[in-house]
């Protein structure tokens, strides 16, 4: 009896671990709220279903084509927040229907990194962007722009000045707190509620 109980607990624990590490699948996010809630439209389990997403990057079409359950759907990019691919990467649609890779999808202040490959004699480049929330517009990532996005949070401004001297990587990850440094400082700048 005791062995069966421990076996059952062991199986439930391993099933729980598998559920936590299972892929969320791919699909489209209709809104910033859907993105925050991990609510996908035309979603698939990428391990068991075929899912194709065509962004039409080179033709410049203003829509994406999703082949879902063998049927094609066309959805206007400007009516979507973004999408998650089957590799688990998340993207947001923005200016000129471009898609911006999200570096830290589980955090409040979102960071985006757009890499332009080397073409001919033109060297590649990396452009960094941010949005103070998922619903806010995307803008170039600079220390001044981050401060301006939180105009009344003077404690955040002071923490930014102390932690990010000129030339510091604003996308730095804080290993100790398991989040980007910007988001950790933003969290620390807000009043802490004390439990009684």
CB 102 within 8 A of CB 32: no
pLDDT of residue 70: 84
| Residue range 29-43: mean pLDDT, rounded | 95
pLDDT of residue 194: 53
| Sheet of strand 82-84, all strands in order from the earlier edge strand to the far edge | 41-44, 26-29, 82-84, 90-93, 99-101
Instruction: Quickly state the pLDDT bin for 2 (edges 50, 70, 90).
Output: very low
Q: Is the pLDDT of residue 67 over 60?
A: yes
DSSP states of 133-184 = SSSSPPEE--HHHHHHHSTT-HHHHHHHHHH--TT--TT-EETTTTEEHHHH
d(C-alpha 49, C-alpha 192), whole Å: 45
pLDDT, greater one: 122 or 104: 104
| Residue range 31-35: mean pLDDT, rounded | 97
pLDDT digits (tens, 9 = 90+) for 120-176: 887 778 999 999 999 999 999 999 999 999 999 999 999 999 999 988 999 999 999
The mean of the pLDDT values for the chain is 85
pLDDT of residue 24: 61
Instruction: Quickly state the pLDDT bin for 196 (edges 50, 70, 90).
Output: low
Closest of 147, 148, 53, 126 to residue 91, by C-alpha? 53
pLDDT of residue 15: 33
pLDDT of residue 59: 80
Instruction: Quickly state the pLDDT bin for 50 (edges 50, 70, 90).
Output: confident
Write out the E strands in 4-106.
Answer: 26-29, 41-44, 51-54, 63-68, 71-76, 82-84, 90-93, 99-101
Helix 154-163, helix 181-189: angle, nearest 10:
140
Q: Considering all CA atoms of the chain, what is the largest pairwise distance in Å, rounded to the nearest integer? A: 73
């Amino acid at each position: 009896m005791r062995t069966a109980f421990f076996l059952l607990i062991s199986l439930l624990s391993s099933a729980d671990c598998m559920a936590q590490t299972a892929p969320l699948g791919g699909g489209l996010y209709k809104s910033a709220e859907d993105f925050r809630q991990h609510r996908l439209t035309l979603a698939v389990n990428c391990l068991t279903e075929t899912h194709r997403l065509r962004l039409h990057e080179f033709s410049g079409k203003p829509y994406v084509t999703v082949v879902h359950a063998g049927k094609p759907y066309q959805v206007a990019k400007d009516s979507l927040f973004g999408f998650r691919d089957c590799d688990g990467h998340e993207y947001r649609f923005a200016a000129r229907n471009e898609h911006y890779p999200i570096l830290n999808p589980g955090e409040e202040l979102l960071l985006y990194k757009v890499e332009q490959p080397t073409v001919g004699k033109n060297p590649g480049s990396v452009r960094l962007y941010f949005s103070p929330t998922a619903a806010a517009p995307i803008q170039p990532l600079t220390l001044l722009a981050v401060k301006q996005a939180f105009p009344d949070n003077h404690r955040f401004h002071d923490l930014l000045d102390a932690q990010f001297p000129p030339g510091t990587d604003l996308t730095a990850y804080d290993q100790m707190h398991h989040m980007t440094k910007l988001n950790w400082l933003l969290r620390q700048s807000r009043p802490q509620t004390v439990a009684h």
